[in-house]
Structure 1
Amino acid sequence: MNGFLSSLGHPVEDTEEETFLLFAQEIPANNLGFVDSCAQSLEVTIHGNEYTIQQSPSVLSSSRAGGTTGAVLWKITPLFAEWISGLTSNPLWTHPDSPLQPPAGKTVVELGCGIAGLVALSLGPAVRHYVATDQEYVHRLLRENLDENKGVAYKHKSGGSKGKGGKKKGGSKQVQSEESNISFTSLDWEQDAPELLKRSVGIAPDNDEDEDNGFDLLLSCDCIYNEALVAPFVRTCADICRLRPAYHPEKAADEEGKNPTICIIAQQQRAPDVFEAWLEETLKVFWVYRLSDEHLPVGLKGGTGYVLHLLVLRDDA
């Protein structure tokens, strides 16, 4: 773990400096960041796999309380999905000191998955279990997208074998794409308890005597665009990470060998004040590393209008 984090460079320490460095450079105009907010469906290619993603322009334009941004696909998502699922090129999976090796044994949780489920479809087949979370209104279309694209997502499984997970769980708050290891559960950052995430989708521990409610990896793609969401978002990230040991340079894993949860937060650069508010809140409880160009593909490098940070919970948080 120490060697892996050292490879990322020095952690971010100053909120104003980081905000200035990112927003002083010329940023291309990405508008709000939609791929096509009027299209009912989109064709997206990730690592040569073609996915058909259903959207809901009507929900996006509605006055639904609680927001509607998850109803369509955002530009950063396909770029992020391709990067995070690059098992032979992404340092998260390839660095010799990364605690995320091997991917097949890891559990992942995503905050704000939206209706597309594209990150889940891209990475889910490579890990033990993938829990996608968002507000309940994305439930129906997300299920359709997972079911419609599962043949593409799992086609590289040996002999066309089925993914882990088995049967769909009952209840109104969760759905599991049949024959896959991708599950969905609704999660309200202000009201729901993160420690119930695994239980709600019926993920059994590897060892019944040593239940692990935590996750190896937490992902969030373009969820930070409103200052009012900053505090509950950061608090939810921290609460999920507290299900595992926090990071201390002299003791990366606990006595049982469990590593801290690694968080990857991807976002489009929009309003400097919103970004600064997020970073200030995040630095209170996390070690923060900005992923440099050497770790990113062309579409996510500096100057593209996108930025990725890696977080690990501080041991004094």
Structure 2
Amino acid sequence: MPLNSFLSLLHEVHDTYEGSLTPPPRLHTGHTGQSPTLLSSSRSGGSGETTGAVLWKVTPLFATYLSHPGNPFFSHGVLSSRSTVLELGCGVAGVLGLTLGSSGRVRGYFLSDQEYVLKLLRRNLEENTPPPAAPRKGRARAEGSAMVRTLALDWEKDRITREHPVLKEGVPFDAVIACDCIYNEALVEGFVEALEEACLELSAASSPSSPGAARGREGGSALSKEAGGEGKTKPTLAIIAQELRSPEVFETWLVRFHKSFHTYRIPDSLLTPEINSASGYCIHVGILRDSGQIGMLGRGGDQKRPLCT
């Protein structure tokens, strides 16, 4: 199976202490661009929040890495032109959506961030998305062109559910991607909970069109079987790219993430020099553990608002 061959290349994290990585001396500020308009304004509600206004360096580096034909996600069929992806905390630039979605590298790319980010995000997408290529003479226009969608999502407050009008189609998601979303310990719990919910709600096992839907919803056994190569249901992968800044924050995230996900790190041998641990970056992949064991940890479903539209 493509997933098994892919996982065999990775370093599985069994001990979170051994899995910790030490940041190298910083040679750069960590960000490569920003939105002066958003940085100088206050979001709706007057809190002055500017999360999403800065484009951190790991995002374009990760986009470049995924664009390389030899990267293991695509070369082993984990992601393909038939894949659908959700990104958490995409920011105003939407770099990955443009790289993977607008280019047709994947079938569908869903960019999510807080409501106040979306106006500039949509403008960036419009201004940087090339018009569809005209069909060559004698050939019909290619079918199944990529779809790039945006949705408002504050993963500290909102639920990720198929009831959302943007997600209700029931298409299974191959991956949930997040780049540099963890920069202090206070964000860790809500972030991992959002990943849990996304990987549970958006997987093939939970899709109404999936034959194994009921089985996957009841106990996540289909996801566990796929990780072991026995089942037919493909799990939704959590893919986390981040800059190594604070050892304390990274360890807090790794311990919490490992509690809910089978955790794998992309080894430096499969990374480019620009995005490996020596340069201060890392990429982890997670497969949701048995949902019965997770028990929707701390989710407090009724305490969260319905997902924004």
Does the 8 A contact of 2:86 with 2:177 survive in 1? yes
CA distance in 2, matches of 1:236, 1:58: 29
Residue aligning to 1:239: 197
CA distance in 2, matches of 1:311, 1:277: 16
Q: Secondary structure at the match of 2:14?
A: coil
Give the CA deviation at 1:228: 1.1
1:78–1:288: structure 2 CA closer, same or farther, 3 Å change rule? Answer: same
1:202–1:223: structure 2 CA closer, same or farther, 3 Å change rule? Answer: closer
Give the CA deviation at 1:188: 1.8
CA distance in 1, matches of 2:75, 2:239: 16
Does the 8 A contact of 2:263 with 2:286 survive in 1? yes
Residue aligning to 2:60: 78
2:86 is matched with which residue: 97, 106, 109?
Answer: 109
Residue aligning to 1:8: 10
Q: Secondary structure at the match of 2:24?
A: coil
Give the CA deviation at 1:287: 0.8
Matched, 1:28 2:26: yes
The one-letter amino acid of 1:91's match is P
Matched, 1:90 2:71: yes
CA distance in 2, matches of 1:158, 1:250: 39
Q: Which runs of 5+ in 2 are unaligned?
A: 206-219, 295-309
Matched, 1:119 2:77: no
Q: Which runs of 5+ in 1 are unaligned?
A: 41-54, 166-179, 205-210
CA distance in 1, matches of 2:117, 2:43: 14
TM-score of the superposition, structure 2-length normalised? 0.76
User: Alpha-carbon deviations, 1:2-54, whole Å to 9, x = none?
Assistant: 22211213x112222222xx11x6333333x22144x75xxxxxxxxxxxxxx
The one-letter amino acid of 1:144's match is R
Q: Secondary structure at the match of 2:52?
A: helix
Q: Secondary structure at the match of 1:312?
A: strand
Does the 8 A contact of 2:4 with 2:227 survive in 1? no
1:130 is matched with which residue: 80, 89, 109?
Answer: 109
Between the two proteins, what is the percent identity of the paired residues? 40
Give the CA deviation at 1:82: 1.1
CA distance in 2, matches of 1:261, 1:75: 26
Give the CA deviation at 1:217: 1.0
Give the CA deviation at 1:250: 6.5
Q: After TM superposition, where is structure 1 displaced by more than 6 Å over at least 4 residues in a row? A: 60-63
Residue aligning to 2:120: 141
Q: Secondary structure at the match of 2:178?
A: strand
Root-mean-square deviation over aligned CA pairs: 3.0
User: Alpha-carbon deviations, 1:82-113, whole Å to 9, x = none?
Assistant: 11233x21111112xx443xx12111000000
Does the 8 A contact of 1:265 with 1:308 survive in 2? yes
Give the CA deviation at 1:57: 3.7
Residue aligning to 1:311: 286
